[in-house]
Structure 1
Amino acid sequence: MRNHQPSVAVLVTLVVVLYLCGGTVESHKDQPLSGIAIHETTFHLNDKAHVKASPTLLGSNGQHSELVLVEFSSPHPSDEDWIGVFSPADFNVSTCPGDNKMVSPPRLSSAPIKFQYANFSNPRYNTTGTGSLKLQIINQRSDFSFALFSGGLLNPKLVAVSNKVAFENPNAPVYPRLALGKEWDEMTVTWTSGYGLKIAEPVVEWGVKGERKLSPAGTLTFARNTMCGAPARTVGWRDPGYIHTAFLKELWPNAKYTYRVGHRLSNDAFVWSKVYQFKSSPFPGQNSLQQVVIFGDMGKAEVDGTNEYNDFQRASLNTTKQLIKDLKKTDAVFHIGDICYANGYLSQWDQFTAQIEPIASTVPYMIASGNHERDWPDSGSFYQGLDSGGECGVPAETIFYVPAQNRAKFWYSSDYGMFRFCVADTEHDWREGTEQYKFIEQCLASVDRKTQPWLIFLAHRVLGYSSTSFYAEEGSFGEPMGRDSLQKLWQKYKVDIAIYGHAHNYERTCPVYQSVCTSDEKTNYKGTFNGTIHIVAGGAGAGLAEFSDLQPNWSLVRDYDYGFLKLTAVDYSNLLFEYKKSSDGSVHDSFKISRDYRDVLACAVDSCPATTLAS
């Protein structure tokens, strides 16, 4: 450690440990925090510099998000100075062990949970040396401190550290998220807290109007050693707290329920969240208006403008805003992979669940696995990339519930009224002969199309068709090997729509089979379909992806912009598809499907078994 100030002891709240951390991994560039070389920090603590944060006590009215005023000054200001938010406020050996015990230079070993440049709100900071920021802080089960750095992000020099700030109850139950259960009359509710089972029992109080039930919840967590690599098990690690899931069963169809999550303490007192409400699922096949929102690759962003090192996911706030605005006309949400782009910086999972809380606490928020949740070399993922930042699926599989038989194998089916959703896991092998292939066929084959006519296939990577430039350059116009095994299943079982993320844009195909359009219609489909419409909906928030110059014949509509999908099942015979802009919620593309059950039964190429003339 190079210490340029003799008075370091005045800021003893910051304790530094021995630590070795490699340089920034290229695949982590999507995560703004990866732009900070925090492991290269040196110490230039200065008595004439200061950082003050107020108020020091947050959440006194029960809220789990609050603005903190951070005031600071430096005797040697620079446009490269920045403020980092750290939680826990103290850094010590127990929270940040090193992988290599032989390394001698002490270095700061934990990344900030968010950051902003010191001149963000005062363009004259470089002259005056004073500035202030209003930063939104959410409850993340620990206290916070704010540090002033010089030297920019790649050569950080710690100049001053603030007082501590904390929530009144840092352990409080927060950020509930609903999910459909394994049975149609079941809803699950998952939340995060700082209460382990030795301290309190997790419970949910719930019921229809005039009724109150108390149901227990299971508790999970995960440790640093379950992470597969850096930064998740090094500078990006942060204790995830406890994840609780309760199963609310034997629900009445289409009924309104209220609930609150909480904990029973050892003295029999309860700690409760605020009261939320949800509408239970319709009976499978129930003929009622049903509206489902679908998108991929949203990510998260900060409303106070922090963390935006490369401005990669700002549009996620627009998508979130539009979903909240239309929440009364939404029954369920499917976020098909690349959830929050934490990429090994685990504090970001809390930030994401806080961002979507108004949505996920009200309607089921179903997720699929993407490369930024799962992929890591030699971890069992189909792809050997570094995209998860060492998470290898553990946070996503723990923080969100899905009705899979094994959450480490993130494929599942979900029924919602007249819809059957078959959700694939593209980060595990889907090819013919695999366990997942058998699941996909069983999911498609087992639905009763008389009562659930709308069969939807969901996956993260584009297993169907996309003219995004990186797919076009490979010559596959979709995930290599994607269509080879699966298109015969889509055709055989007459999948209506297949929807993907991964490519950060919007694209719609004609009804297509083996790269050939099976219909010339573009907006009003009637009768026999003869193919599957493939949709790319990966533009919910993360940085956009360019299309190829070549637009294939099967590509009807392309949009290089942010947006999301909405499917509305009007009845057994009519489905409305809409693609909406995240900027204002306007409908940019739409089509209708109108047909009867006999149209589903009708034969198309490769969709009917062989017949005989024998009588």
Structure 2
Amino acid sequence: MALRKCKSAVGLILIFSLMKLGLGDQFEPNQIHLALSRNPNELMVVWNTNGSIEGLVQWEKISDPQSRFQSVAISHAFVEHSSSKLQQYVHEAYMTDLDPAEAYKYRVGSKLVWSEWIECQPTAASNSTDWSPRLAVFGDLGLVNAQSIPRLLQDTKRGIYDAVLHVGDFAYDMYENSGRTGDLFMDMIAPIASRVPYMTCPGNHENKDNFFQYRNRFRMPSKNPKDLFYTFNLGPARFISLSTEVYYFVFNYGIVDIVAQWRWLDATLKAAMADRENHPWIIVFGHRPMYCSNLDHDDCKNHETLTRVGLPFFHWYGLEKLLYKYGVDLAIWAHEHSYERLWPVFDRKVYNGTTDPKDPYHNPQATVHVTSGSAGCRERTDLFENPEPWSAFRNSDYGYARLSPVNKTHLLWEQISDDQDGKVIDSIWIKKDKPEGFVETNEVLEVSSFE
């Protein structure tokens, strides 16, 4: 017993000495953010340190401070690819057996230094389908001109979101300044991302070195950590995250990722269709849209958008036919620094709901596409040219969206203008009477792949 006390005293003296020397600073947690895990009632928490140390997370119910739990992080070195070779360490830990109805607080760190306690409500970790998730949705958020951040943080502190979808393009760009731009960006979003799961997909601004910065900074619930696609459930909705970028950097990184993602998406959507009684809403999100009417030369202006119809000439591995075949209800995009909502559309044709001509989103017969990419970045916002027949609403204000699959028959989508002091500038209800796909799909489709 005396020896054990002596060892404890020596350990405390060593820790105190390291802190006095300032060596504890290199172990101070930063860039803290949450994500959903692949298991219900569980949240993943990720943070960085400048030095190598065993990472720990502690959490407890706010209503019961005696209920403290702890788990050890999985850690890996993250060495910047620039000539500076700056090195930091990424720690990934899991808070398990969470009660979604309880409020928690948690902290991350090590035996040397801890973060402040952070409060979170793990509603998004619920395995129940009988609740109404509320999400903030946006893309194209930079370190400079991040106009929407103050209002998003205010919303988050008010507890109106259960999760965030960041639909590609981060920091502009995370690799710049030897990765310090990425560090500053991650610290900028941490007050939001440390409170609610911050779910992501890669954009074109993450492509450098085969998405090296993105892969190291964001850990999503994919089966393989190297994959840029994954799925998760929230309430009555199945969410599917894709990389549209594999279609645009094929000459850099090859066709393997396109094929792997397409096969996975086909199987995942097939499983989602079979599970529609539990999760009737199927929502896909990725960075580059299939359709847009902006005043620029982006691929979404073309009749044969790569993500929509597939690889040039052969039309292999296109995504739109898969979305239509399996009745994807909502497709969320960014990339264009503006907001655009479409009528239900497939193959550039409008398929409004059949119940009431004045209610086009009641039992729509094709996927509803929305683009919300004006959260704020150094490239400012984009303008529009003459609208296409499938374009229903457009706006170039800075802002972001709110999404709520309210129940198994009603889904609410809203666009918020930050320029207009948080005004809701667009709002639609997507409604469907039965948990099924589109009526005509089996008659018109032959999905194309090389296989």
- Give the TM-score category using the shorter length: 0.7 to 0.9
Q: Which residue of structure 2 aligns with residue 516 of structure 1? A: 349
- 2:294 and 2:148 map into 1 onto residues whose CA distance is 21
1:471-491 C-alpha deviation (Å, 9 max, x unpaired): 478851574353442121111
| Residue number in structure 1 paired with 2:15 | none
1:46-445 aligned within 5 A: 169-197=25-53, 201-208=54-61, 209-210=63-64, 211-224=67-80, 227=81, 233-234=82-83, 237=84, 239-264=86-111, 270-280=112-122, 281=124, 283-301=126-144, 314=145, 316=146, 318-327=147-156, 328-342=159-173, 344-345=175-176, 346-374=179-207, 388=208, 391-429=209-247, 434-445=259-270
Shift in Å at residue 348 of structure 1? Answer: 0.9
* Preserved CA contact (<8 Å) 1:563 1:580: yes
Q: What is the CA–CA distance in structure 1 between the aligned matches of 2:304 and 2:148, rounded to whole Å?
A: 25
Query: Is the Cα contact below 8 Å between 1:324 and 1:359 reproduced in 2?
Result: yes
* 1:589-608: CA deviation from partner (whole Å, max 9, x where unpaired): 1100222325x256234479
| C-alpha distance in structure 2 between counterparts of 1:526 and 1:503, whole Å | 23
Distance 1:555 1:601, change over 3 A: closer
How high is the TM-score relative to the length of structure 2?
0.81
| Rounded Cα–Cα distance in structure 2 between residues aligned with 1:188 and 1:524 | 40
The alignment status of 1:493 with 2:326, answered yes or no, reads yes
Shift of 1:207: 2.6
The runs of 5 or more residues in structure 2 that have no matched partner are 1-21, 249-254, 311-317, 447-451
Greater C-alpha Rg: 1
What secondary structure, in the 3-state scheme, does the structure 2 residue paired with 1:415 have?
Answer: strand
Greater RCO between the two (CA within 8 Å, min separation 6)? 2
Could you tell me how far apart the structure 2 residues matched to 1:167 and 1:506 are?
47
Q: Is the 8 A contact 1:335 1:368 kept in 2?
A: yes
Distance in 2 between residues matched to 1:323 and 1:250, nearest whole Å = 28
Q: What amino acid sits opposite 2:92 in the alignment?
A: T
1:326 corresponds to which letter in structure 2?
D
For 2:110, what is the secondary structure of its paired residue? strand
Change over 3 Å in CA distance of 1:459–1:433 after alignment to 2: closer
Q: TM-score scaled to structure 1, two decimals?
A: 0.60
Is the alpha carbon distance of 1:481 and 1:212 closer, same or farther for their aligned partners in structure 2, counting shifts above 3 Å?
Answer: closer
2:403 corresponding residue in structure 1: 567
Tell me by how many angstroms 1:399 deviates.
1.6
Kept in 1: contact 2:34–2:198 (CA 8 A): yes
Q: Give the C-alpha shift of residue 429 in structure 1.
A: 4.2
For each residue in 1:105-138, what CA deviation from the matched residue of structure 2 results, as whole angstroms up to 9, or x when unmatched?
A: xxxxxxxxxxxxxxxxxxxxxxxxxxxxxxxxxx
Structure 1 runs of 4+ with >4 Å offset: 429-433, 471-475, 520-527, 607-610
Give SS of 1:213's match.
strand
Deviation for aligned residue 1:527: 4.2
Paired with 2:364 and 2:335, the residues of 1 have a C-alpha distance of 26
Alignment CA distance shift 1:489-1:239 (3 Å): same
**Residues 445-594 of structure 1 aligned to structure 2 (within 5 Å):** 445-447=270-272, 448-462=275-289, 464-471=290-297, 476=302, 479-484=305-310, 485-519=318-352, 524-525=359-360, 527-542=362-377, 543-583=379-419, 584-594=421-431
Which SS does the other structure have where 2:374 is aligned? coil
Alpha-carbon separation, structure 2, partners of 1:473 and 1:193:
39
Cα contact 1:410–1:424 (8 A) shared by 2:
yes
Distance 2:135 2:116 in 1: 26
Tell me the percent identity.
Answer: 29
Pair 539,272 (structure 1): closer, same or farther in 2 beyond 3 Å: same
